[in-house]
Amino acid sequence: MSNLKLKLKKIDPVKAGIVYGAVLGLFGLVLAFFVFIFSSMIGAAGGMSPFGFFGGGLLTLIFLPIMYFIAGFIGGLIITLLLNFILKKTDGLTIDFEKIGESEDITMIGKQ
C-alpha cells in the first residue's frame, strides 16, 4: 500500500455554501416536522383545531428549512472564504491518503 500526500490550497466558496445550506436545510426540515407535531398537539389540547396553533406549524414546515438553507449558505460562504484566506497564509493543508485498491491511478484525477 502506498501513501499519497495532497495539499489542499482552496475550496470553492459557492459550492461549499450550497453544501452547508443543504445540510442545514435538511436539519431545518426535521426540526420543522417536530414543531409541526408539537404545535398540532398543543392546539388540539387547547380545544382549538389541531391546525389552530401557529397554523399547526404549516408555515414553519415551509419557511424553517428555507431560512436554515439561507443561513447555512451565507455561513458556509463566509467560513469557506475565511478558510481559503488561512490556507493561503499557511501554504495549504497537507492531507495524507492511503491507496487501498487497484483502481484508476489517482494522479490522473483532475487531469480530465
| pLDDT given for residue 99 in this prediction | 78
CA distance 30 to 75: 20
pLDDT digits (tens, 9 = 90+) for 73-93: 999 999 999 999 999 999 999
How many whole angstroms separate alpha carbon 31 and alpha carbon 4?
41
* Percent of the chain at pLDDT exceeding 90: 45
Q: What cell was used for 97?
A: 491518503
Please tell me the predicted confidence (pLDDT) of residue 108. Answer: 55
Q: Write down the pLDDT at residue 2.
A: 72
Q: Is the pLDDT score of 32 beyond 70?
A: yes
pTM of the model: 0.70
Region of 56 please: left (phi>0), alpha (psi -120 to 50) or beta.
left
Query: According to the model, what pLDDT value does residue 16 have?
Result: 95
Mean pLDDT value of segment 16-31? 95
Domain range for 82 is: 3-108
The neighbour count for residue 5, using CB atoms within 10 Å, is 8
Question: SS3 string of 62-101?
Answer: HHHHHHHHHHHHHHHHHHHHHHHHHHHHCCCEEEEEECCC
Instruction: Please write the tens of the pLDDT for every residue from 91-112.
Output: 999 988 887 776 655 555 555 4
Q: How far apart are CA 50 and CA 40, in angstroms?
A: 5
Say how many domains are in the chain. 1
Instruction: Return the top range by mean pLDDT from 7-16, 31-40, 44-53, 54-63.
Output: 7-16
Contact 109, 60 (CB under 8 A): no
